[in-house]
Structure 1
Amino acid sequence: MDKLTWYRVLAIAILLLLCTLPGVWAAPAPATTDYTTTYTITLQKDGSALWTVEYRTPLATDEDLDNFGNYSSDLDSVYLPQLEDLMQRSAAQAAVGTSRPMEADNFSGNAVVQTSPTGKFGVVTYSFSWTNFSVTDGGLTIGDAFAGGLYLDKDSTLIVRYPQGYTVASADPVPDQQSGDGLIWYGLRSFGSGEPQVVLAGPAFPVLPAGLVIIVVIIAAAGFMIYRKRRPDPGPGDVPEDPDDHASPLSEADRVSLEERIVQLLRANGGEQFQSEIVKVLGMPKSTVSSTLNDLHRRGLIQKIKKGRENLIRLVDGSG
């Protein structure tokens, strides 16, 4: 398959992952190519999920670059509407199968050329939100929306990220890798009906005796009063920063990927979101997210607006 043909089928390549959802036509896998695909499902506490699909291919020649430019110019008018139609039908059919209202919305697409020490790459990213994707029962459970199972092509990766404070009670099949905030499966792989099924336990809060609770409240109140008396009043532009959580430095590739995720998250939320919410959704260390936001701000891609003691992050028009 030449590069031009690959760009034309790229927008519906998500069918490789979702081809067996109820009511969706199952497309055959394309011939082996030199692109990689990463599907990331970021679970939210309210049961919704932010989906991100990233395709990455090397641009070794001028012809590759021209073909990628042609694809990019048609992304919003041709390929993004195709994906939107596919996923809205998929969510509607999953809603029937689970007896749970579902909707896919907030679609966005982005195509950029990245240059790294290993060469030049074309990167296409699609994102959208899926409401009621998870079952909320004190924790989070996913899998029932995949009534027909899933398929991961070679050089494809599925990542399921979960909110901070949640723990994995079970995962079937067992993931190939587990990070601090996510489960990872690599292709080539076929999942069975309702797979992957992941059960997450919600944050646990210990139950304290009533008398002990009163004592704790009194001590905390007294400590707060002492703190307020000793602490100088903040200046008009003073906004407290998060303490350093000693996050490990990111590689260049990870930094670029995190920037893309932040931009797509902002686009999926109308172009703006509070910094604290971005940290919660990404499940990344606060200092890592803060450093990345500072880089985007210095490059003029975002604005940081003070709202009380929080930062409102706003995407600059035309960014991404």
Structure 2
Amino acid sequence: MMRIAAPFLALLVLLAGVAPAVALADTEAPSTATDQPALSESPPARIDSPAVTELYIDPDPDGDARWTISVRYTLESDSDRAAFRDYAQSFEAGDVEAGPGLSFFRMLADEAGGATGREMAIQNPNRNATVQNDTGVLRLSFTWTNFVTDTERGFVIRESVLMPGNRTWLSSIGPSQRLVVETPEDYQVTDSRFGLDNGSVVVEGPHQFQDPLTISYEETQGPDPSSIPWPLVIGTLLLFGIVGAAVYARSRDVWPTAGDDTDDSDAPAPAATPETDTPETDADADDEPATDVDPELLSDEERVEHLLDQNGGRMKQARIVQETGWSDAKVSQLLSTMADDGRIEKLRLGRENLISLPDDES
């Protein structure tokens, strides 16, 4: 059997109690050139010496984790590449256990399940091998069930790397090896002894784990406040506020109402009110509504007169519509009737009407 397995198993230096086949990867004597697999006549292929080995873990907050183990080899000749392709076919078919093998990880899941009392399993495996230029890659992917542990606000990775007696099967990674633990969307790392790369935990070898690998995650409540462009947000809100205030003010004092363009478009200009020398009597004053009278007790005409009196004797028609809450059509018809009766005067200003009391000389 090709000795491609040995460098991979060095990725996981196991403590006592793991199967002897695994310990062999750490304890066997260094190999000589004569016992290496000869994949080419000259020089001998060193397919058992990967350039890079990566262990990638993508945890699911619901409990499982998807693993991908990539073992990358440098192939220096055409014969090396041809030999690797032949081996890759057997690897993809599952006919060999060299390289990253499922039996190895099934053993780890059994150990972790016994330590935690949770049933764990290795499911949905997929093997893939590629050759590109001078590089050959073996990839093994699978789902490790019950890999993460729920917490009140998220989840944690720890128990799945334990063995009975609170020991860990993941005690070190070697040179040219790396461990990457992805951070799920809408989660953030809140506790880890390792550095982050784009939000994911990355451990570069060589590294000795003094304590079991522990990574805690919490669900984020929204975007990171530090990533929000606050000056732009505040400036935009101020701009909308200024525009909204201007539009509101103009709609109250300047903009015409719908009734102005229809009901009063053909109305004749108001006739000048002849001046009289008749002094105002007390009886005439009594005819004006009191300023503190309840508007609900007044007729429609009296209410308009009351509004005009409270606003200096003149108001724009649109303002009367707003103050009374009546429809444009009702106000327009009422003002036309009052103008015909001489109770008010209507003066056309552009596209709107200015309403005034007949005795207002300002």
Please indicate the TM-score interval, normalised by the length of the shorter structure.
0.5 to 0.7
Question: 9, 16, 40: which one pairs with 2:10?
Answer: 16
Q: CA shift at 1:63, angstroms?
A: 2.3
Say which SS state the counterpart of residue 10 (structure 2) adopts: helix
Say which SS state the counterpart of residue 9 (structure 1) adopts: coil
Say which SS state the counterpart of residue 109 (structure 2) adopts: helix
5+ residue gaps in structure 2?
32-47, 163-167, 224-362
2:306 corresponding residue in structure 1: none
For the 8 Å contact 2:13–2:173, the answer to whether it is kept is no
Question: 141, 154, 157: which one pairs with 2:156?
Answer: 141
Correspondences of 1:182-201 after superposition (within 5 Å): 182-195=200-213, 197-201=214-218
Deviations along 1:100-138, one digit per CA (max 9) or x if unpaired, are 2211111111111113xxxx2111111111011111113
Range 78-87 or range 122-131, more displaced: 78-87
For the 8 Å contact 1:80–1:109, the answer to whether it is kept is no
1:102 corresponding residue in structure 2: 120
Structure 1 residue 111 corresponds to structure 2 residue 126: no
- What is the identity, as a one-letter code, of the residue corresponding to 1:170? D
Q: CA shift at 1:179, angstroms?
A: 2.3
Question: 57, 70, 77: which one pairs with 2:73?
Answer: 57
Question: 175, 179, 204: which one pairs with 1:154?
Answer: 175
Structure 1 residue 203 corresponds to structure 2 residue 224: no
Q: d(CA) in 1 for partners of 2:108 and 2:50? A: 28
Deviations along 1:239-269, one digit per CA (max 9) or x if unpaired, are xxxxxxxxxxxxxxxxxxxxxxxxxxxxxxx
2:321 corresponding residue in structure 1: none
Question: 39, 61, 64: which one pairs with 1:48?
Answer: 64
Correspondences of 1:225-304 after superposition (within 5 Å): none
Instruction: Number of aligned residue pairs: give it.
Output: 192
For the 8 Å contact 2:172–2:208, the answer to whether it is kept is yes
2:26 corresponding residue in structure 1: 28
For the 8 Å contact 1:112–1:124, the answer to whether it is kept is yes
Higher RCO, 1 vs 2 (CA within 8 Å, ≥6 residues apart): 1
Q: d(CA) in 2 for partners of 1:77 and 1:56? A: 20
Q: d(CA) in 2 for partners of 1:188 and 1:65? A: 28
Q: d(CA) in 1 for partners of 2:8 and 2:107? A: 14
Q: d(CA) in 2 for partners of 1:205 and 1:57? A: 42
Q: d(CA) in 2 for partners of 1:95 and 1:77? A: 27
For the 8 Å contact 1:59–1:121, the answer to whether it is kept is yes
- What is the identity, as a one-letter code, of the residue corresponding to 2:156? T
Q: d(CA) in 1 for partners of 2:66 and 2:100? A: 18
5+ residue gaps in structure 1?
207-320
The change in CA–CA distance for 1:51 and 1:58 in structure 2 (over 3 A counts) is same
Q: What TM-score results when the alignment is normalised by the length of structure 1?
A: 0.54
For the 8 Å contact 1:88–1:105, the answer to whether it is kept is no
Structure 1 residue 132 corresponds to structure 2 residue 130: no
Structure 1 residue 171 corresponds to structure 2 residue 165: no
Q: CA shift at 1:54, angstroms?
A: 0.6
- What is the identity, as a one-letter code, of the residue corresponding to 1:95? G
Q: d(CA) in 2 for partners of 1:199 and 1:42? A: 14
Q: CA shift at 1:73, angstroms?
A: 2.5
Question: Higher strand proportion, which one?
Answer: 1
- What is the identity, as a one-letter code, of the residue corresponding to 1:129? T
After the TM superposition, which parts of structure 1 deviate over 4 Å for at least 4 consecutive aligned residues? 29-32
Correspondences of 1:206-225 after superposition (within 5 Å): none
Q: What TM-score results when the alignment is normalised by the length of structure 2?
A: 0.48
Correspondences of 1:74-85 after superposition (within 5 Å): 74-75=90-91, 76-79=94-97, 83-85=101-103
Higher-Rg member (1/2): 2
Aligned-residue Cα RMSD (Å) equals 2.7
Q: d(CA) in 2 for partners of 1:152 and 1:162? A: 21
Q: d(CA) in 2 for partners of 1:100 and 1:133? A: 9
